[in-house]
Chains A and B, each alone.
Chain A
């Protein structure tokens, strides 16, 4: 009997050592996904998508309602009465907004995770996947139209301008693909680092704006696909840029992951002002109204500034880590932290730092 115990003990000790080592590795974490229409907010968090009433924060439905295995962080994309989102079990779903059990289609063509929000134009859904492919599906039936392969996972939302798909690549490039065929319409634009942020287009200027992990923020001419200007302001060395900029009263405002915030002229890149190191920040900025914007730092601190960077308000969500860019609707500022008491916090636009409602999924 002693031998038996010795065996079990030895195995347990070795397993423990190994598992301790294994547990220290990075987990498949990601950032909660948020999107809203006029009446509801859709939250993609961990293993469900929740439809929540914007008026009172009540859950309308959750998908899947049962214990079907799913992990999703990608924000949903609305298309008429339906919505499309991808999960981390390689599936892309198109479901009815009012009743998610009414499924239009489900695609299992991809082999990796869908981490980003998909884009749609002309009946074609463009879905980036971590299996190093960008997929194009027929929006009506989910049939695969084309796929474009590269060397790295695609994890940011595509931008569609006319018949061109513009997508950030971790292969230090911006790709320009034909919407109908997936072929390259133009030579990829070389960047100095991996491009994690989704490209942002302002029709008025005709430029696409994007930053990378290579200490750069650039404007690209949407027609020629050439660099129009490169940020060269008073921030000595930009850190990694993970989020889209915002456009507010003629100012283009962007942030890096050290919390450096810069306002530039969108035509020339000339700097208007900067605020240095406002706290670690993966999330982007969000315009609250014509005159102010909100900054959500990773440590859970929320700051509101006016367009001339005058601080208006600061408050904190306890124990929160914020990775997701706040979402601003007509009446609410929505913040989806991780690690906090609630999964979603809704503040009135004229906020005082007190939430109007909070949401936590019931078991």
Chain B
């Protein structure tokens, strides 16, 4: 057994099996286990949120804006000055990534534990039996009963209505992933129109990609995705980090986002003037305002 298995997958699988034994339902166990892991990683999430806030505040700091403007043509100097400000203000630009990176093994471990517990072939079952701690009396509950509501957690999920298989969980995964990424978007992410466009496309691609995984793989994994998304949204909401207004589409938003995309396309076609305007607008607070400010100039042109 390798270190990854020993430190991450084995303990997680055993905890999941113990929860399953206690609640006597694997679907409920996946939900509880996902919530438990989310609770345990709250300190990391809080640290990540704090760093995000600090970085967002810094974007609006006059001194920082001034430096951005002053050294916009000298990347080396700009980097040095940025480092100095980070040091002065006690901000680490990577501290918002670090908690995320630390959470990665836990998230993958959680996924692997769920997949491991859903063993169905003899070899998979044997491997599952072998990683159960001898002091736990959980080997008597394997193989796990995979039925939960209308789902077989070991198979891709479909709800059959009049003979048509509807992938309810995959749809929920896409929806919750989109809601999550949309509502948790950093306000400054779109300061630069090209970054805003990238963020927009990522916000669409990621939920679709997650939905594809949920559609193709077992329902247990899809269930985990949904619960994970919902719990993340809840945790962020409690920390005041959810921007619910972003979820309500308005005509104004549609026009603005179209303009942002148009502007980006123009900038990609080497329109230097527009690009310059975009750089100038990079310190501005949102994609919406950036687009608004760019619109008249583009029309003038």
Question: Is the CB of B198 closer than 8 A to any CB of chain A?
Answer: yes
* Segment touching B, from A25-33, A309-317, A353-361: A25-33
Query: Interface digits, A1-45 against B, CB 8 Å rule (1 contact, 0 not)?
Result: 111101100110011011011101110111100000000000000
Establish whether residues B202 and A10, one from each chain, have CB atoms under 8 Å apart when the complex forms.
yes
- Helix, strand, loop or mixed for chain B's interface? helix
Contact with A along B95-119 (1 / 0, CB 8 A): 0000000001001100110011001
Choose among A10, A21, A172, A282 the residue that contacts B126 (Cβ–Cβ < 8 A): A282
Give B128 Cβ to nearest chain A Cβ, in Å. Answer: 8
How far apart are the CA atoms of A44 and B202 in the complex, in Å?
45
CB distance from A25 to the nearest CB of B (A): 3
Q: Is the CB of B205 within 8 A of A193?
A: no
A10 proximity list for chain B (CB < 8 A): 198, 202
Query: Does the CB pair A196–B125 fall under 8 Å?
Result: yes
| B198 engages A31 (CB within 8 Å) | no
Q: How far is the CA of A30 from the CA of B108 in the complex (A)?
A: 24
Minimal Cβ-Cβ distance residue in B for A321: B123
B145 engages A115 (CB within 8 Å): no
Whether A14 contacts B121 by the Cβ 8 Å rule is no
Interface status of A120 (Cβ within 8 A of chain B): no
B232 beta carbon closer than 8 Å to chain A: no
Binds B, one of A48-56, A77-85, A148-156, A173-181: A148-156
Q: Which one of A3, A20, A172, A213 contacts B197 once the chains associate, using CB atoms below 8 Å?
A: A3
- A115 vs B268: C-alpha distance in the bound complex, in angstroms? 56
Answer yes or no: A72 CB below 8 A from chain B CBs.
no
Would you give the shortest CB distance from A140 to chain B, in whole angstroms? 31
Residue interface bits A176-203, CB-to-B below 8 A is 1, else 0: 0000000000000000111010000000
State whether B129 touches A25 (Cβ < 8 A). Answer: no
Contact for B194 among A3, A24, A29, A115, CB less than 8 A: A3
User: Hey, which chain B residues are within 8 Å of A348, CB to CB?
Assistant: none
Complex: chain A residue closest to B264, CB-CB: A3
CB within 8 A of A31: which of B108, B115, B122, B201? B122
Q: Which of A14, A17, A115, A214 lies in contact with B122, CB distance below 8 A?
A: A115
Tell whether, in the assembled complex, residue A25 and residue B115 are in contact, meaning their CB atoms are under 8 Å apart. yes
Mark A110-150 against chain B: 1 for CB-CB distance below 8 A, else 0. 00010100000000000000100000000000000000000
Verify if A242 is at the interface (C-beta below 8 Å from B). Answer: yes
A355→B217 CA distance, assembly (Å): 42
Chain B 118-156 residues near chain A, CB threshold 8 A: 119-127, 129-130, 139-140, 142-143, 145, 147
Q: Which residues on the A side are within 8 Å of B104 (C-beta)?
A: 17
In the bound complex, do residue B140 and residue A213 qualify as a contact, i.e. CB atoms below 8 Å apart?
yes
A26 touches B127 (CB 8 A): yes
From DSSP, what is the main secondary structure of chain A's interface residues?
Answer: loop
Question: Max chain A CB contacts within 10 Å: which of B107, B121, B125, B129?
Answer: B121
Contacts of A18 in B (CB 8 A): 209, 213
Looking at chain B, what size class is its interface with the partner chain?
35 or more
Question: Which residues of chain B are within 8 angstroms of A192 by Cβ–Cβ distance?
Answer: 140
- Segment 161-209 of B: residues with Cβ below 8 Å from A: 194-195, 197-198, 201-202, 205-206, 209
Taking the complex as formed, is A170 at the interface, i.e. its CB lies under 8 A from any CB of chain B? Answer: yes
Most A CB within 10 A of own CB, among B124, B129, B201 = B129
User: Of B108, B123, B139, B145, which contacts A151 at CB under 8 A?
Assistant: B145
B7-42 interface (Cβ within 8 A of A): 9
Indicate if the CB atoms of A115 and B121 lie closer than 8 Å: yes
Q: Evaluate contact between B142 and A213: CB separation under 8 angstroms.
A: yes
B300 to chain A, nearest CB (A): 24
Question: Are B140 and A24 in contact, CB atoms less than 8 angstroms apart?
Answer: no
Residue pair B112, A7 in contact (C-beta under 8 Å): no
Does A257 sit at the interface, judged by CB under 8 A?
A: yes
Q: Residue on A with the closest CB to B201?
A: A7
A254 contacts the other chain (CB 8 A): no
Q: Is A247 an interface residue (CB 8 A)?
A: no
Q: Enumerate chain A residues within 8 angstroms of B147, measured Cβ to Cβ.
A: 151
Q: Report the separation of the CA atoms of residues A306 and B158 in the bound assembly, to the nearest whole angstrom.
A: 54
A113 to B112 alpha-carbon distance, docked (Å):
22
Q: How far is the CB of B229 from chain A (nearest CB, A)?
A: 14
A151 to B198, CA, bound (A): 48
Asked if B108 and A24 make an inter-chain contact with CB atoms under 8 angstroms apart, the answer reads yes
Residue of A nearest to B143 (CB): A170
Q: Is A323 an interface residue (CB 8 A)?
A: yes
- Complex-state Cα separation, A250 to B13, whole angstroms: 43
Contacts A152-B143, A196-B122: A3 and B111 contacting too (C-beta < 8 A)? no
11 A-B residue pairs with Cβ-Cβ distance under 8 Å, sorted by A, are A10-B198, A15-B209, A22-B111, A28-B124, A29-B124, A30-B123, A155-B122, A196-B122, A214-B140, A257-B129, A323-B126
- The interface of chain B, by Cβ under 8 A from chain A, is 4, 9, 104, 107-108, 111-112, 115-116, 119-127, 129-130, 139-140, 142-143, 145, 147, 194-195, 197-198, 201-202, 205-206, 209, 213, 217, 264, 268
List 8 other contacts, CB 8 Å, given A14-B206, A130-B120, A213-B140: A10-B202, A25-B111, A26-B116, A152-B145, A155-B122, A214-B140, A240-B126, A323-B122
Interfacial residues, chain A to chain B (CB-CB below 8 A): 1-4, 6-7, 10-11, 14-15, 17-18, 20-22, 24-26, 28-31, 113, 115, 130, 151-153, 155, 170, 172, 192-194, 196, 213-214, 240, 242, 257, 280, 282, 323
